[in-house]
Amino acid sequence: EYPSRHWELDEHGQPTQRILEKRRRAEFITPIPKPRKRRGSPTQQQIVYDEGKGISTQEQQYDPTPIINTIRHHVDQWRNIPNPHDWRVTPETARLLQHWRHHNFSSFRPFLCQVEAVETVIWLTEVAPKVGKIGKDLLAHLENANREANPELMRLALKMATGSGKTTVMAMLIAWQTINAVRHPNSKKFTRGFLVVTPGLTVKDRLRVLKPNDPDSYYQSRELVPNDMLHDLNHARIVITNYHSFMLRERLELSRGSRSLLQGRGKSLKTLETEGQMLQRVMPDLMGIKNIMVFNDEAHHCYRQKPDGDNESTLKGDERKEAQKNNEAARVWISGLEIVNRKLGIRRVIDLSATPFFLQGSGYAEGVLFPWTMSDFSLMDAIECGIVKLPRVPVADNIPGGEVPKFRNLWQHIRTRMPKKGRGKAKTLDPLSLPVELLTALEALYGHYAQTLELWRKEGVSIPPCFIVVCNNTSTSKLVFDYISGFYRENEDGSTTLENGRFLLFRNFDEYGTPLALPRTLLIDSEQLESGEALDRGFRKMAADPIERFRREIIERTGDRRQAENLTDQDLLREAMNTVGKPGRLGEGIRCVVSVSMLTEGWDAQNVTHVLG
């Protein structure tokens, strides 16, 4: 249903309690109330995200919202044309549009925001070139925005609130492109080759539903394609990879001494793989296909640093390290795409992100929208449409002495009393000596969680709600995990004593100190995955049925029986995380997840009720 009303906000972004009978315009609004304590301390500074008003210059335009609203207006008019023959699209595209808009779906009907995002791409691809000056001007704006920031690529960003279904949008776009490419093989507008690039393994695992042969493939399970068109999708070639795979790898592992001996006084040995070899390793299925379509999931991690702008050299301390890390990741990501473009050709890059903003140290003004953003469905829109849960954030707390609620920016207030990055830094610290602000915040949210769990049980909900703690580094995450779930303390004589978890519902040990075979609390971060201590020994026995189901899915999806038979603890832990809240799966009984970057890389769990961090 098209949004027809919204809550009015004043010039400070605060509600006036009036409802306006029209759709909200695209503009940056944060759906967070102001704290009751209004005078901020100088230590609590926050990024002011906006559309770029007041900071644009003739050389650098930062405000794409007028373009977004203009395109939305034209897409609305086009959508309301009653006769499909007047839509100026191929018959296949018209059929898909009618299906998405009017089909009687048995389960998940695509949200309007998902259909609108796809319609925007279709309109700009198939319709805009045919509607005269209006279309040409909008396409020229898109080209100019890319020429300044991504001269080798043509990017188009779709801003979609977290939880509004970016994976479904990718599936719909893949279906549109593939079906048209199969039935119009000579058209340059369509392709059947797709590269999906993600920032981490969490997202990569979640996106396997984009492959037509996956057991949970969206095209059939969510009825995204009419039955008589499904067979066309078998012609699609889809590669899903992490941006890290674009880094050129060593073909010959040599110690420094061996390298020096072989090299002698000659030129440096070239032991790195070539760009072509990298492509053959990462995307062999796409070799031979020209002009593919790329999807950047969580696309705010991908940009070319502006050389003459403000960069990380103006920052200090942790902010500078974070900016350097972001810029290096962005360089690897966008350089990889430029290699793909030179070797295979890229027709279009579709950026999907809830926050397609420039990051600190990128050389661009921090926190403003990518100028190639063409569609916007904000968190405020998603809340008002009932697509995502209504967030409850602290407007006050019971920590005395502060002018601004410390729960609003918890890690910043306690960072001097917490360990620095690196798991080793946490070994000398006591999980029971965490700062009082952190303990108070945990206890406050846990109390409400216990009430929510009881309510779900009374209503007959078979899975538990999920509580997430997002920490600032892996040292903190280990301490918080131990405090919540329990840990063994080593005594001076070498013996150990159990300190059981301080929250009964999240404990990983029973009252006798025996580890639960099926944990209630998971620790998810890079160091835990690599530790070899991620799961209890009894886990495989107690979770035999869901593990066997996971094995069958791997065989069905990849045909690799060896991979299915040799599942590592890391594989099982990742699967447990990816299936939190899903009945009959490894993550069914998980109640609490402690992580570092859980919410920055995308995570598909629908039973999350509490988030701290």
pLDDT digits (tens, 9 = 90+) for 559-593: 778 888 888 877 887 788 778 888 888 888 889 98
What is the per-residue pLDDT for 540? Answer: 74
415 and 455 both lie in a single domain: yes
355 and 472 both lie in a single domain: no
Beta bridge partners of 157: 351, 373
What is the per-residue pLDDT for 89? Answer: 98
What is the per-residue pLDDT for 206? Answer: 80
Give the pLDDT confidence of 297-328 residue by residue, as tens digits: 989 989 988 877 666 667 777 778 888 888 89
* Residue 356 covered by a domain: yes
What is the per-residue pLDDT for 313? Answer: 64
The CA distance from 557 to 430, in Å, is 44
311 and 436 both lie in a single domain: no
Give the pLDDT confidence of 326-356 residue by residue, as tens digits: 889 899 999 999 999 999 999 999 999 988 9
**What is the mean pLDDT of the segment spanning 372-379?**
90
* Residue 301 covered by a domain: yes
359 and 445 both lie in a single domain: no
The answer to which of 192-196, 278-282, 363-367, 447-451 has the lowest mean pLDDT is 363-367
322 and 211 both lie in a single domain: yes
Instruction: Report the number of distinct structural domains present in the chain.
Output: 2
The CA distance from 295 to 157, in Å, is 10
What is the per-residue pLDDT for 134? Answer: 93
State yes or no: pLDDT of 509 exceeds 60. Answer: yes
Indicate the average pLDDT of the chain.
82
- Dihedral of the CA atoms 240, 246, 248, 252 (nearest 10)? -20
What is the per-residue pLDDT for 42? Answer: 38
What is the per-residue pLDDT for 383? Answer: 81
**What is the mean pLDDT of the segment spanning 404-425?**
59
Domain boundary among 354, 384, 414: 384
* Residue 417 covered by a domain: yes
* Residue 555 covered by a domain: no
412 and 350 both lie in a single domain: no
332 and 370 both lie in a single domain: yes
Name the percent of the chain lying above pLDDT 70. Answer: 78
Spell out the residues 6+ positions from residue 345 whose beta carbon is closer than 8 angstroms to its own.
290, 291, 292
N- to C-terminal Cα distance for the chain?
A: 34
What is the per-residue pLDDT for 585? Answer: 83
314 and 442 both lie in a single domain: no
State yes or no: pLDDT of 220 exceeds 80. Answer: yes
366 and 504 both lie in a single domain: no
- Do 543 and 521 touch, CB atoms closer than 8 A? no
522 and 412 both lie in a single domain: yes
Residue 541 exposure: Cα atoms within 13 Å on the Cβ side: 5
Angle among Cα 218, 223, 224 to the nearest 5 degrees reads 70
For residue 11, name the pLDDT band (cuts at 50, 70, 90).
confident
- Range 167-206 burial, b when 16+ CB lie within 10 A, else e: bbbbbbbbbbbbbbbbeeeeeebbbbbbbbbbbbbbbbbb
Q: At what angle do helices 544-558 and 569-578 cross, to 10 degrees?
A: 90
What is the per-residue pLDDT for 544? Answer: 80
Give the pLDDT confidence of 126-158 residue by residue, as tens digits: 999 999 999 999 999 999 999 988 989 999 999
Domain boundary among 330, 354, 384: 384
**CB-CB neighbours of 513 under 10 Å:** 12
For residue 404, name the pLDDT band (cuts at 50, 70, 90).
very low
What is the per-residue pLDDT for 344? Answer: 95
Name all contacts of 269-273 with Cβ < 8 Å and 24+ positions apart.
272/248, 273/248, 273/249
State yes or no: pLDDT of 38 exceeds 50. Answer: no
Domain boundary among 351, 384, 417: 384
What is the per-residue pLDDT for 597? Answer: 65
* Residue 461 covered by a domain: yes
Q: Which helix (H) or strand (E) holds 454?
A: helix 436-458
What is the per-residue pLDDT for 40? Answer: 44
* Residue 306 covered by a domain: yes
Q: What are the percentages of helix, strand and coil residues in the chain, rounded to 5? A: 45, 15, 40
More confident residue, 432 or 534: 432
**What is the mean pLDDT of the segment spanning 504-523?**
88
* Residue 139 covered by a domain: yes
- Do 50 and 36 touch, CB atoms closer than 8 A? no
- Do 206 and 602 touch, CB atoms closer than 8 A? yes
CA distance readout (Å), 349 to 61, 240, 297, 302? 21, 14, 11, 11
State yes or no: pLDDT of 424 exceeds 80. Answer: no
Name the percent of the chain lying above pLDDT 90. Answer: 40
- Do 485 and 554 touch, CB atoms closer than 8 A? no
For residue 193, name the pLDDT band (cuts at 50, 70, 90).
very high
Structural domain span for residue 604: 406-536+569-612
439 and 320 both lie in a single domain: no
State yes or no: pLDDT of 603 exceeds 80. Answer: no
More confident residue, 110 or 517: 110
Q: How far is CA 221 from the centre of its chain?
A: 22
What is the per-residue pLDDT for 86? Answer: 96
370 and 473 both lie in a single domain: no
For residue 264, name the pLDDT band (cuts at 50, 70, 90).
low
* Residue 41 covered by a domain: no
State yes or no: pLDDT of 51 exceeds 60. Answer: no
